[in-house]
Amino acid sequence: MEFFTHDGFANATSIGAGRAPGGLVEHHLSGTDLFCVAAVWIACLGTLHFASNRTVGRLAAKLGIKFSNSQLRGIESRVVCGVHCAISAGGAALLLKGRFVGGVNVFNLHPGVFSRAEAAFVAMEVGELVYMTLYDLWCEPGALELLHHVLGIVAETSCLLTSSGVSYMLWVHLAQATQPFLYFSWILYQANMSSSVTCVASTLTCIVLWFALRVVSVLLLVRSLWASGIEKGEFASQLHFNVAFAITLAFAALNIVWFKKMLAKVLKVVIAAKSEPSSAAACSAVKCKAVAHIGAEQKIE
């Protein structure tokens, strides 16, 4: 069975039949192909998780650091998620670059044609979400984490089946570039290394990337969708466009709230440091702590 003919999407979005803007061509990967990509990535994550489980405890013992079982599980899951997010963000950046060079408006829901690489990329992301859902069920997760993964599976699969919102989906995954630094700061905080230069650098990098990729870029997406909805009348004629716009607004609001939380805590520490210069090391530690707390709450992506 072949997925997603371009003509079906063109009729739904009024792009027109034939090749999409920028010369994009649909991938024509079969369901079996996509399933195999997801399965292989699930196996890769499982192998990484096993290696992390074997390595973290031994490394901590050599360094003389004691972690509780819950801390070890948290570190292992964040190592896996951090590696995946780094790969995901890098892949999304390359795919967005290809679209931009091809003359596609990367801040728009259209065109919706998946290339072969993009389809495989989304299948990989679905595989990661399935893996983390199973892991959450095994570890008795919070309801929000489980809901996040289930909705993510539905959203990614719907995007693939309908060939809708490809560029938007890539921007969402590019925003995951913040997560490796977020998780790394959390791990250093757990290891009582929050005052180290490494932790401070990781924290500041996370904040800068968060602002660029999760605040500025998402607001540009909102602006682009709003302009498209008004100009083409898509708010009145297309239900899926309204859903996409609502999700984008919620995504922007959530990321702005998290950014304000991090920034408020860091600014509080900076102000305290000016009044008490002797507490510079303590201030650095609290900066990392501010981001580490976000990392604890945002355990997954």
pLDDT tens-digit map of 246-286: 877 888 888 898 898 888 877 776 676 666 555 555 555 55
Please state the rounded mean pLDDT for residues 93-120.
79
Would you call 130 helix, strand, or coil by DSSP? helix
pLDDT of residue 2: 37
Predicted confidence at residue 157, as pLDDT, reads 84
Residue percentage of the chain with pLDDT more than 90: 25
Q: Which helix (H) or strand (E) holds 65?
A: none
Q: What is the mean pLDDT of the chain?
A: 78
Q: How sure is the predictor about 50, in pLDDT bands with cuts at 50, 70 and 90?
A: very high
CA distances from 292 to 74, 78, 146, 193, 227 (A): 12, 12, 21, 11, 37
Of 64-78, 202-216, 220-234, the one with minimum mean pLDDT is: 220-234
pLDDT of residue 22: 46
So what's the pLDDT on residue 111?
Answer: 56
Is residue 92 predicted with pLDDT exceeding 90?
yes
- As a whole number of angstroms, the distance between CA 258 and CA 293 comes to 11
Tokens of 200: 């401070």
Which pLDDT score is estimated for 10? 33
**Extents of the domains making up the chain:** 6-297
Which tops the pLDDT comparison, 270 or 81? 81
Regarding predicted confidence, which is higher, 212 or 103? 212
**pLDDT over 70, % of the chain:** 76
Higher pLDDT, 106 or 211: 211
pLDDT of 63 above 70: yes
**What spatial distance separates the first Cα and last Cα of the chain, rounded to whole Å?**
32
Lowest mean pLDDT among 11-15, 41-45, 250-254: 11-15
What is the CB neighbour count within 10 angstroms for residue 48?
16
Residue 267 has a pLDDT of 77
Any idea which residue has 């995901």 for tokens? 88
Distances (CA, A) of 45 to 41, 76, 171: 6, 11, 23
Report whether 118 contacts 27 (CB < 8 A). Answer: yes
The residue among 52, 65, 207, 200 whose CA lies nearest residue 135 is 52
Give the distance from CA 184 to its chain's centroid: 15
Task: Report whether pLDDT(106) > 60.
Answer: yes
pTM of the full structure: 0.78
Query: What's the pLDDT band for 6 if we cut at 50, 70, 90?
Result: very low
Q: Can you give the pLDDT at residue 158?
A: 78
